[in-house]
Amino acid sequence: MTSKIQVASFAPDDWERVREIRLASLQANPEAFGAKFETESIRPERFWRARLSKSDFVLASDESGDVGIMFVDQVDENFAASCWIRGCWVRPEARGKGVMRALINYVDSQADVKPWSEQGLGVWVDNYSAIKAYELIGFTNVGDPQPSTSQPGKFYQRMRRTTPAKGN
């Protein structure tokens, strides 16, 4: 039996819960992120509260607890998107069970109240499983791979999708 996935956005007072799954993502899959566990694990409460004030942190959970995370930022650069999805991660034991789709469906559901109809993200060019997952949800490549500013020598691929029209 597949458990029901619940998705919600979290506020600064939820910083400990967000911190816990963010650090779990950095420990389990450090190769997937520009940030490092060693840096983020020592950041104080005020850092996490400020971060949750600037970005929309979205968590997916089931009866076992929190199983996925992403954060959504307004785009202030020309990324051919109205929002930028960052820090996507699903616990290994929850992969292939619709968690990423549930997170993206949540973003889609907010497009009427937030400028999230044109979604962009960046993924390391050698993260083949993430690229496949994003393609299955409707993301497509935009342009050529770009050099990373957080990890010199690595490249990321920009991807984009448009929220499906309501009623489709």
pLDDT, tens digit, 9 for 90 and up, residues 95-141: 999 999 999 999 999 988 998 989 999 999 999 999 999 999 999 99
Q: CATH number, domain at 50?
A: 3.40.630.30
Report the number of distinct structural domains present in the chain. 1
Tell me how far the alpha carbon of residue 153 is from its chain's centroid: 23
Mean pLDDT over 26-34 rounds to 92
Q: What is the pTM of this model?
A: 0.89
Looking at residue 2, its pLDDT comes to 55
**Which structural domain range is residue 150 located in?**
6-162
In a domain, 167, yes or no: no
Looking at residue 90, its pLDDT comes to 96
In a domain, 168, yes or no: no
